[in-house]
Every structure is written in C-alpha cells, then in structure tokens.
Structure 1
C-alpha cells in the first residue's frame, strides 16, 4: 500500500503538471500555459487515488480509471491527462493476469479511449493528442505483459532449480540406502560363512583333543585360517566406511568365481562333501555378476553346512546358457530348512533374503526350496550382459 500510494502521488503530480500545458497555444505559439477547470482536477484526484488499490483489484481499478478518462474526454476542454491513470491500471492488469486477459483488456481499453479521444478531442481526428492515447495504452499493455513473462520465467527457473536440488538429495539418500544394504549383505555373507566354519572346526578340535591331538591341531589350523579370512574380508568391507581423511582402505578386489576352488576347499576341510561342475570356462563376467555368483554359492554351502546334517553332500554347478549364467547348489541332507526361509521376526536369518536381493538387483532370478526326496535346492540365473555389465565392482 505504501508503494502504491507513493506511485499514486507521483502520477497525480504528473497529471496536474501536464494539465497546465496547452499543446496548441495561441498567437502562433506551439506550447503555452492554461488553467485547468475544477472538474478536471477532481477527475485527476480520483484517478490517482484509485491507483492505490491497483494490486488488490486491478480490473476494477482499470474500469474505474477508464470511466474517468471517458468523462474527461467528453467534458474537458482543453482536456487534462487523466488517461495516465488508466495506462498505469492497464499495466497492472497485464502484469498480474494471463496473456489472453491482457489482450482482451488492452484491446478494449485502447479502442474505447482512443475512439473517445478522436470523437471528442480536437480536430483533426488524427491529431497527436488523440494518437498519443493509442500509443500509451499499447505501451502499458505490452510492458505489463513483458514483466509478467519475465516473472514467470524467473519463477520457472527457480522451481526447476529447487526440483533438481530435491532430486539430487533423493538420489543421494537412495544411493546411501543401497550402499548400506550392500554392506549389510556382505557382512552377513562373510560372518555367516566363516563363523560357521570356525564353529565346526572348533567342535572337531574339542572332540578329538584328547585322543587324536594331530587331528585337533589340523582343525585348529583351519580355525585360524577361517578367522584370518573373515578378518580380511571384514577389514575390506569396513574400509568402505572410512572418511576421506582416514588411512587408505584395503584395495583387495572383491571375490569372484575365480576363487571358487578356495571357497569349496574351506568347506571340504570342515568335513562337507562338495562336488563342483563348471562349463563357464573362458567366460568373463561383469564384476557385479561375478561377486553375486560367488556370494550365492558361499551362502548356499554355508546353509548346507549348518542345516543339512553331517552326512550331507553338496553339488555345485556353474553353467553358461546363452546370455545368462546359471548357478545351482543342491544337497541331499535331511536337516532343517535354511533359516533364510523363516521370517526375520521369528528369529530366522537373512541368508536367502540377501541372496534374492543380490540377484534381483542384477535383474536375475533366484529359486529356492526343498527337493523331491529330501534336500534343498538353490538356483540362480544371472545376466552376463546388459545392465549388469555396465556396473562396476562394488567396494
């Protein structure tokens, strides 16, 4: 209101100053002074006062100031510049509404005021005072539309920047959540596998400690080797959580199918009979697929070790089938189902859930369940090419 009141006062001063100038003059003089009549002064005061409310009711103010300009054109002789208030009101309408409204209001105001000036103004009808009404109303509408367009453009840029910022934050949160989930899966795979082996070998050592110390010593050596491997993989996984200023994290690559023989050897040393069949020789797997295949086999054999019984036998097959690689782990045990099948809330583990998440993340499929006649089956199909091939090795 304060700004609009100041604007109204400035417009009133301009109109009053303009009302004292006579563009026709007399005695051959182009410009001269004149004394405006009382009605013209009243119209100027009313038009300027209406501009103080131009932001609250722009169309009403435009209609009111336009009506005052018509009255001034019909009665004023010589005419006072009351149309200035209508031009400011037209600018306000154009800058606060849409373009179709601006076109309608601008054409209507321009036509009515210019027509009234030509009919009631000085002759000839194309005198500069009459054409000035046409020019000033057009300038007011055009300037208001330009201001409105610029405001809309700046607002669109601001909204786009805010939307991009929100998208970056959401993407960062999503990546953090995915990384936390991946680290959790890695920790589970490492701990479940190696601790299961340590538990088995420690039990063997305790059982034969008195009667067969040599075998107990060999079991303890396996315990030490399994614990060393667990510590190494834990150190590599936890190294991902270091800050930029921390000491350099381990750079040992994540395991893959090239280390399958080492993995199987650890289970065989723990007493599990494992047979391996592979037809994927010469196949180069993407890093993410290679790690996922290794972890699936590791988790499946760990479940066999823990739940299939001491006399169980496991079979591992790695087969390349077209654009996919198929991982199958079978056992003939009669023990309980792997804890990954149980709901987490019932105290079950998360082994099968972690395997399914790994495979699904690579757009593969995982099938698990009991076998006909006893035992358990884990079957994973992983894509060798496509999206998985473009992903880097995690960690």
Structure 2
C-alpha cells in the first residue's frame, strides 16, 4: 500500500502546529529541567525545526523524512537538551508510517528508537532517573504508540473496504438495471416491429381489393410506431447515467396492448390484488411476447389471455386457436421469445411452459406473489 494523502495542503498546517508546539513547549521544559539539562541554543532550535520540516516531506518521501526526524531527535537528546516536546514530530511520523501501510519499516524504526532511548538513559544516568520502572515506561510508551497506530490502520482499511463494497454493489445494481432495461428494449422492439411488419403485409395485400381494411392496418402501424418510439425513449432514458426512472409497462396497459395486437383477443381477469412492479412487468412482457408470436405464426387466430390473481401466485395463460391464413412472417427466422419468457419467470422464482395445444399454441406462466397484508 502506498503513502496516501489525507487531503491537499494538510501537511503545512500540521508542520506549523508541530513547530510552534515543540519550540514553545521546549522553552517551558528548559525552565523546568534547568538544573540538569543544557539550555536551548541555536543548535537546539535547529534540531527542533527539523522534525516539522520533515513532516512537509512525508507525503513524497515518507521513510526518508521519518529517518531524518528521528536522527534529529536522537541528536537533540544526546546533546543533553530538555526532553519532552521534541518527541512530538517523531510520534506523528511513526504513526503515519503504520497507518499508511509501511508497517515493517515503522516497527524497525520504533525498535531503534527504543534502543537509543534506553542507551541514553543508562549512559547519561543520574540518581533516580534510571531503573526497571524507567525502562518499562519508555517501552510501554513506544509500544502503546505502535498499537494505537495499528488499530487506526485496521479501522482505516475497514472503511476503505466498506466503501469499495458499497461502490461494487452500486455498480452491480446499475449493471443489472441496465441489463433489465436492455431486455425491456428488446421486447419492445420485437413486439412492435413484428406488429408493424404484419400490418404492413396486410395493408399491401388489401390495398387494391379492400382499401378500408388497408387503412385500418396503416392506422395500426402508425399507432405501433408511435408506441415503440415512446417506449424506446423511456428505456434509453433509464440507461443514461443518473436519468430518472420512467414508469414501465404494467398490467393496467393490457387493454391497450390487446387493441393494437391485430388479432381477435379476449382478455379475462379472475380476481384482483396489488402486484409487485417486477411481477407486473414480467406478466406484461409475457403476454406481449405471446401476442407477438401469435401474430407472426398464427394470423387470424382467436387468442385468449387469462390472468388469475391467487393468494400466492399469478397465473398467466395465453392460448390461440391456430392460424387461419398464411403466416407471412413464419419463415423469417426464430428469436429468443420463449427462452426470454422463461428467463423472466425463472428470475422471479416462477415457471413457464409453452407448447402446442389442440390446433393452436399455449403459453402458461406461474409467477409467485408475496402474501397480502391483512
């Protein structure tokens, strides 16, 4: 892990605070330790400013800056100047190394600092200034600093991981939404283009012999083309980043779908209850795809669309009586209509079957529903 900036321009303020703190507090420490420490002189002030200057470079040269700050602290200590505030910069530097991932180097430098401190306390010992308790206090302070830094590093990494997890989940949901919208766009295009093609073929066939019926077919083409443009605009708006979600097709629009199907369709509803939006959308698309297939492969057929609203599932059944005229689009290749309907049902935990039924064809889907609130 690299050395990461906390925020632009933060180091100068921190360095200034540390510099003022070390100089001012060291002057107070000098007065308190005047009996056994050297007074502050020009060299002492130079060494007091080395640590804050090293903080300015920690962003680009973290290890080098930390070593320089520690060396200045060692020199200050061994020259006999007042102890205490001089350790503020090294504490910050070691803490930063750990929290930004340079843990091994930080622990090595902490161990060196402990060794130097213990060596100094014994080499420059005075009565009551050294001993086991003194050594343990120094060791405990350095260990506490490193443990707190490790805890801060762990918390920081957890926050980063949580943020990444949230971002990944957001991207995943966006991808799933776009995939759903792409499927919606496919279904809209497949249905309306097939309807337009059927009606155009009918209009061409009847144009000379039955112009009134041809006019009806052309009117259906106009309505279907307007519908497909509107739905395409709605779906594409959702695919655009940050666009507001437009209402999607639901069962309240089945009558409109039936009217422009170009078939003799009977719509039956058994019962009624509120449905989740995803179930409504799936049921609508299943009916839409079934009517598209009937228009393509069974022109002239009588079609029955039956919806049964149960307590735990929605039953959708579309049956046709079989073609009564030549299927002008039957030879133009198959698509993914039935597999797509099965995928929609399976995505909701439901089932879908499709196959011949008498002289015609039947599509039957069972979509699970949540329990109604009493």
Length-normalised TM-score, structure 1? 0.59
Report the Cα offset of residue 181 of structure 1. 1.0
**Does the alignment pair 1:302 with 2:302?**
no
Report the Cα offset of residue 225 of structure 1. 1.6
Counterpart for residue 344 of structure 2 = 358
For residue 186 of structure 2, the aligned residue among 185, 188, 200 is 188
**Does the alignment pair 1:12 with 2:78?**
yes
- Number of paired residues? 281
Counterpart for residue 82 of structure 1 = 122
**Does the alignment pair 1:279 with 2:279?**
no
Counterpart for residue 281 of structure 2 = 291
Tell me the secondary structure at the aligned position of residue 260 of structure 2. Answer: helix
Go from structure 1 to structure 2 and tell me whether the alpha carbon gap of 1:136 and 1:333 turns closer, same or farther (over 3 Å shift). Answer: farther
Distance 2:334 2:291 in 1: 17
Length-normalised TM-score, structure 2? 0.62
Tell me the secondary structure at the aligned position of residue 195 of structure 1. Answer: helix
Counterpart for residue 199 of structure 1 = 197
Gaps of at least 5 residues in structure 1 are 19-52, 70-79, 86-127, 340-346, 390-395
Distance 1:227 1:63 in 2: 84
Distance 1:169 1:9 in 2: 48
Report the Cα offset of residue 233 of structure 1. 1.8
User: Of the two, which has the highest radius of gyration?
Assistant: 1
Counterpart for residue 327 of structure 1 = 316
Report the Cα offset of residue 62 of structure 1. 7.5
Report the Cα offset of residue 207 of structure 1. 0.6
Gaps of at least 5 residues in structure 2 are 1-66, 84-104
Counterpart for residue 99 of structure 1 = none
Distance 2:294 2:211 in 1: 28
Map residues 27-38 of structure 1 onto 2, 5 A cutoff: none
Go from structure 1 to structure 2 and tell me whether the alpha carbon gap of 1:349 and 1:169 turns closer, same or farther (over 3 Å shift). Answer: farther
Counterpart for residue 171 of structure 2 = 173
Counterpart for residue 208 of structure 1 = 206
RMSD value, Cα: 4.0
Go from structure 1 to structure 2 and tell me whether the alpha carbon gap of 1:236 and 1:5 turns closer, same or farther (over 3 Å shift). Answer: closer
Counterpart for residue 26 of structure 1 = none
Report the Cα offset of residue 329 of structure 1. 2.3
Distance 1:205 1:59 in 2: 91
Distance 2:357 2:211 in 1: 41
Distance 1:195 1:368 in 2: 25
Distance 2:133 2:222 in 1: 95
Map residues 1-395 of structure 1 onto 2, 5 A cutoff: 1-14=67-80, 56=108, 81-82=121-122, 129=127, 132-241=130-239, 253-267=247-261, 270=262, 272-281=263-272, 283-307=273-297, 309-310=298-299, 312-331=301-320, 333=322, 349-361=335-347, 363-371=348-356, 375-385=360-370
What stretches of structure 1 move > 6 A for 4+ residues in a row?
57-66
